[in-house]
Structure 1
């Protein structure tokens, strides 16, 4: 069984072959049309390969969007929750596939993004060298900082997927958590799944800094006793707990989970999930990610800091929290759109809510235009400027607003020095501010300061262990620094030999 089913337009084969070779060299097994056997029904072979593959990689292009075969193969991957999309030109994916981010294979981080996506579906850890797939699109030479823009703000999606801001008025309390095994409503056949999913979620959440988690054995000892929220808090010594239900209905698994405050029994957050019984692993992964987002955005866990709710319309504050929650997972295009919509709702209800304006400015500047938020670059910049002006009027010291300004100085003004000054001013005030750390780390990397980049990005990663882009950048910076150091040692040795 192949790890990856590769779907592409035949006209793109010369370029796709280079990508296939790089993936196979990294240890992935591929199925693509070179495996079709003479004398067989092509459609039967393709359907069988699609069904068995763990991931479906679709390469969108001007020719691919016109291909019915590519569209059908992409649809099967999407419906099976195993689609990974990439593109080799500026053509948008067809309607029905634009809600999923398509990795631009011209980007410097394209291979890291692909391996992260594949390893999440397939398992294991791989490293893929970057093949030369297409000619690079030539940037405007007048913008000297544009290579940095492509990596940090660019003309499209800015691939930071972690790190929340601090504000002048923030709420952050110590959080301890227990994940109660999911109830299976008396169905003993799936009881082990309820315990297994809860245990996996606990392990995944352990990466969040500042979160105290109760061991599974202790939690299992009090599960099913019908205790009140206060009793659970007292017996386990936790401020919050997660509970939920798991049901099997035919071939579908249904789960509902809630985050509860033990001090008053209030439900802080909840979400429902529906997946085929063969997709339990992806459901559990989504549960853990969603819970991590809720803990950061609503309780200030880890890198998250949450604005105080005083004097804010409750409807606007709830929209703000939902925006922050979506922002923590903005590597997903649907989450970026959700964050944008929630922040817009918050500022429409409460025009003087500075933190909501800051969130809106930030999500705008780290997103693309028509492909991400269904607006032109001009419209996006206009909304960004308007939101940033509101922040500077209402709360000029707002950290996320200043982080959004730093990115905007790069993206819209090509002002590298100004961007660095703004980011550094944030770190002088809040040394653990993740967006500013990421910004400086990426700038150092692009300037060739690989040791500095590795140091700063490691600091960012310590604040947010789920930061995939930071992890990939650290690896790149480390490799380059090793090469530079080796070259320097060789140079010193050569000089010594001539003395």
Structure 2
């Protein structure tokens, strides 16, 4: 630009841009090759509007113009100009190539980091797969399962993040699946994997967050702690994961994430053991769960989630055939739920537990509805709250509302066995038998060893008059719950005496049957007086089965009896 004295521009960023344009024009102007003899004059605009050649008087004179020049001089001058032109073009190409490479590299790097940030920022759904017990000791399986469930519960509190429910992700436990497969099947963008190793008091957790679309690792970390630090460790992992997912947290969100319901490591491990057994959903395992959860609440009486787990386990025992009488265990469950709410009224799970007890034991349906609505308000993704509310609605004859609520639960957790079976039950109660069969078979496609689905199939097959299928389904349920003697009794009695032979054999040999179940058998046999005697006994014992009085197809033979309407009134159900 020293050759451009006409520019006279102030040295600003804009001026430099103008000079660059002027310089480019000079370079590209073939007439400017003889730079010693010529210069350029530019227009006053921001870009060159005109290039004008002028002879510098101090450089070329008339004498110079008239002086002859020999051939050699001309040739030398042409060679010099040619070499200069060739060199200038060669240098210019090298410079332009280098600049191009640098620009492309900068663009590529910028694009990589931009897209990486964009992908992380866009993650709004995650599945926490069951952590692997890498200790080689089955006795600490409760630890890997418990850590998984606790992380699911913690991450579920984060805003704008969809976290798949426990029942959905545990479908993959023990299976060899890729993050891409999980992402496709569950429609999530990220998968959290983990391995748990315990050696004495030493605990090692290896955690990995993976992009479900590409299989690339987003983040990974190994945590080495003492077992006594397990409570705080889970909060730390949840915070780290939220950071890597770029979830924006308010002050309240951070408090929720950091909240630990107990600081007592012994109480926490006992709680995890209780959850491990209660999730198995059998009478025997529920009884084991109660023992662990009682110990957990004794170690820390203010441990609210342990109290909720205790309440739910008591309810399961009360509703199970062969379990302790409802009047022995339901009041204990109610006390546990109420104490949990006293400690923390914001626990949606505690409201759902209390609502279920009000439904099944107290027959306080209005109070139960308030509790369910509060539970869903506090924990909208808690599937059990939707399922229990759906049950209440169908008991009251509000079938369309009930089915809609059951579907909401399925939308949240489409792989939940409880939610799928519950939807099938609601279809039975709405007298939509064909749909119920299809739904229950779909449930068994998720897990062919789910005994409750077979129990429900037995009911719908009975309603359809397919007694052979009903007996086979109930026999399968007995086998899956560890009672092969009852399975054999069902098949043998039906083979010998048909449907009535089966019913009488069950009444005579199964002395552990609940009064409500016995009433359904007597109703099927046409023995009305015996059926009502058992129903009255069920009412005195506050049996949970009695809440289905209005909608159970097995009681249809009794509905025209005035005693039936009187019983509906006593229970508090609409007539």
TM-score normalized by structure 2? 0.34
| Larger of the two Rg values belongs to structure | 2
Higher helix share: 2
Higher strand share: 1
Which protein, 1 or 2, shows the higher relative CO under an 8 Å CA cutoff with sep ≥ 6?
Answer: 1
TM-score normalized by structure 1? 0.38
